Amino acid sequence: MENPFDDVYFMKKALQEAEIAFDKGEIPVGALIVIDNRIIARAHNLTELLNDVTAHAEMQAITAAANFLGGKYLINCTLYVTLEPCQMCAGALYWSQINRVVYGARDPERGCIALNTKLHPKTVMVGGVLEDESAQLLKRFFIEKRNLN
């Protein structure tokens, strides 16, 4: 039997979080953390609501997952995020020792790949999962934002 829980399934859930951020006027990035095919954290950007530049979806998800697990390390966990993590989030992911990071759209200007930010040596990064859907949501957000100003 085929596993219904795959990277596309979980990225669709992360995109739902990004839509919530979009509806709140936040940059639409959604994230979730999974262990053993179980979602243990869901998050989206909250930088505007909290007036906090560190309130990225990944940071919110890392905190929620660590609280759920009762420890700071996210070993055997996978982060699904709709946008390639920035340098700050990649640093936090490094310290969390997360096993996998799966992202949707690339961030060629501010993403951890372009900035050569290192992840933990045991962390595997997979990109491009639902890339078009993730990128289109971001484009739609910035077009609407530009048209309001």
Q: What is the Cα–Cα distance from 57 to 76, expressed in whole angstroms? A: 20
Question: Active site includes 58?
Answer: yes
Q: What is the Cα–Cα distance from 57 to 65, expressed in whole angstroms? A: 12
Residue set of the binding site for Zn(2+)? 56, 86, 89
Structure tokens, 104? 């949707």
Residue set of the binding site? 56, 86, 89
Active-site hit among 2, 19, 48, 58: 58
Residues with catalytic roles: 58
